[in-house]
């Protein structure tokens, strides 16, 4: 129904709001110092009495691993805005928030202690493996499927101008499928689906989906069933996990992106319905410091952002 964002620019806070507040008031998501938003999950659907889809819920995630509560009911279709540091928002609103998009730049956060190791998602079976976070990039991914899930993964890493290939699990006669990254692109997130299949003692990975900074998304490698987790929030430079004759879990090593932004921030398309008046806060801020979300009877009706500038 309502969102408000606190933006940061030139050391000052700029507050911009959209939609219409109700008597239900607003809920807030405050970012810690030196943290920033890396992704927003947007849920939207056509509610009885609305001419077009409206946003039903928003979930914000930060570089330091903080996740907001779901602001609203996570029903309907789901999209995600992310792949770097989010510095501004745009969208459309009437007496509800119909859509939300974002402005994204690469992160330039220093990494004094090396990459962040993101916990492996999936089951607890199999032998542990760890490729480490010592590489510059992941250039190619190979995924092999079996009767019930993902059984094999291989990664081509780049280090000192050379390719290092590491594989895990067990190939089958079904062979492998590949996801090749374009030059100067890199993986920013991996969706991991996993569940306990008949005949398996613990959960195994049923599907993987890779996304890149330049907006490329892999096909789903496997069936997107069971529980879903996401590894992301920066540039992924290595993987770890566990495997037997199947891949039981997958984790990652993440660093902030240092990709130059010669042409300013990337404008990510608004997700949601096509109703309401368009609004655009622009991508001219240094950071988003605080988010306010107001809900109505059927969805998000108000947003406010505190930007730093």
Q: Comparing 2-108+259-308 with 116-255, is the CATH topology the same?
A: yes
Q: Which residues contact 14 (CB under 8 A, 6 or more apart)?
A: 6, 7, 8, 285, 306, 307, 308, 309
Q: How many CB atoms lie under 10 A from the CB of residue 298? A: 17
Check pLDDT > 60 for residue 84: yes
pLDDT confidence of residue 48: 81
pLDDT at residue 109 in the model: 63
pLDDT given at position 256:
82
Q: What is the mean pLDDT of the chain?
A: 90
CA 303 to chain centre: 20
CATH superfamily name and code, 2-108+259-308: Jacalin-like lectin domain (2.100.10.30)
| CA 29 vs CA 4, 26, 107, 293: distances in Å | 10, 10, 20, 8
85, 223, 250, 252, 255 from 175: Cα distances, Å: 37, 16, 20, 24, 31
Q: What is the pLDDT of residues 218-235, one digit of tens each?
A: 999 999 989 999 998 889
Give me the phi and psi of 144, to 5 degrees please.
Answer: -110, 135
pLDDT per residue as tens digits for the range 48-60: 878 889 999 999 9
Residue 47 pLDDT: 86
Average pLDDT value for residue range 249-275: 83
Q: What is the pLDDT of residue 258?
A: 63
pLDDT the model gives residue 112 = 53
> Which is more confidently placed, 186 or 264?
186
Q: State the pLDDT confidence band at 11, using cuts at 50, 70 and 90.
A: confident
Question: Does 296 or 107 have the greater pLDDT score?
Answer: 296
Please list the alpha-helical segments (H only) found in the chain.
none
Res 49: pLDDT: 78
Residue 10 has pLDDT above 80, yes or no: no
pLDDT of residue 260: 58
Distances (CA, A) of 13 to 6, 68, 157, 242, 308: 6, 21, 41, 45, 4
* Per-residue pLDDT, 126: 93
Which candidate, 91, 81, 8, 35, places its Cα nearest to that of 301?
A: 91
Mean pLDDT value of segment 136-156: 95
Q: pLDDT tier at 309 (50, 70, 90 boundaries)?
A: confident
pLDDT confidence of 156, banded at 50, 70, 90? very high
178 CB-near residues (< 8 Å, 6+ apart): 140, 141, 142, 143
Are the beta carbons of 208 and 249 closer than 8 angstroms? Answer: no
The answer for residues whose C-beta is within 8 angstroms of residue 211's C-beta and 6 or more apart is 83, 187, 188, 189, 190, 191, 217, 218, 232
**Percentage above 90 pLDDT, the chain:** 67
Note the CATH number of domain 116-255.
Answer: 2.100.10.30
So where are the chain's domains?
A: 2-108+259-308, 116-255
Task: Tell me, rounded to whole angstroms, the distance of Cα 47 from its chain centroid.
Answer: 26
pLDDT at 263: 66
CB distance 207 to 176 below 8 Å: no
Q: What is the pTM of this model?
A: 0.63
Whole-number Cα distances in Å, 285 to 31, 39, 143, 289: 15, 17, 39, 10
């Amino acid at each position: 129904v309502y969102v408000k964002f606190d933006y940061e620019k030139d050391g000052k806070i700029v507050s911009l709001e959209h939609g219409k507040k109700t008597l239900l008031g607003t809920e807030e998501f405050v970012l810690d110092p030196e943290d920033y938003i890396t992704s927003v999950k947007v849920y939207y659907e056509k509610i009885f009495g609305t001419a077009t889809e409206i946003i039903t819920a928003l979930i914000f995630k930060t570089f330091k691993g903080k996740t907001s509560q779901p602001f609203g009911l996570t029903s309907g279709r789901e999209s995600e805005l992310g792949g770097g540091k989010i510095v501004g928002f745009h969208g459309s609103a009437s007496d509800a928030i119909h859509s939300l998009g974002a402005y994204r730049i690469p992160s330039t956060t220093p990494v004094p202690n090396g990459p962040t190791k993101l916990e492996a998602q999936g089951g607890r079976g199999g032998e542990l493996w760890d490729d480490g976070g010592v590489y510059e990039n992941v250039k190619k991914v190979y995924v092999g499927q079996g009767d019930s899930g993902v059984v094999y993964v291989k990664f081509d890493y780049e280090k000192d101008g050379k390719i290092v290939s590491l594989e895990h699990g067990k190939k089958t006669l079904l062979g492998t499928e590949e996801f090749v990254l374009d030059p100067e692109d890199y993986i920013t997130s991996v969706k991991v689906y996993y569940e306990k299949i008949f005949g398996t003692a613990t959960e195994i990975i049923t599907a993987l989906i890779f996304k890149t900074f330049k907006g490329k998304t892999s096909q789903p490698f496997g069936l997107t069933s069971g529980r879903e987790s996401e590894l992301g929030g920066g540039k992924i430079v290595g993987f770890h996990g566990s495997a037997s004759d199947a891949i039981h879990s997958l984790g990652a090593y993440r660093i902030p992106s240092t990709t130059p932004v010669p042409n300013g921030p990337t404008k990510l398309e608004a997700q949601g319905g096509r109703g309401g008046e368009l609004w655009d806060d622009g991508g001219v801020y240094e950071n988003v410091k605080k988010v306010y979300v107001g809900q109505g009877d059927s969805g998000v009706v108000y947003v406010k952002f505190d930007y730093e500038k």
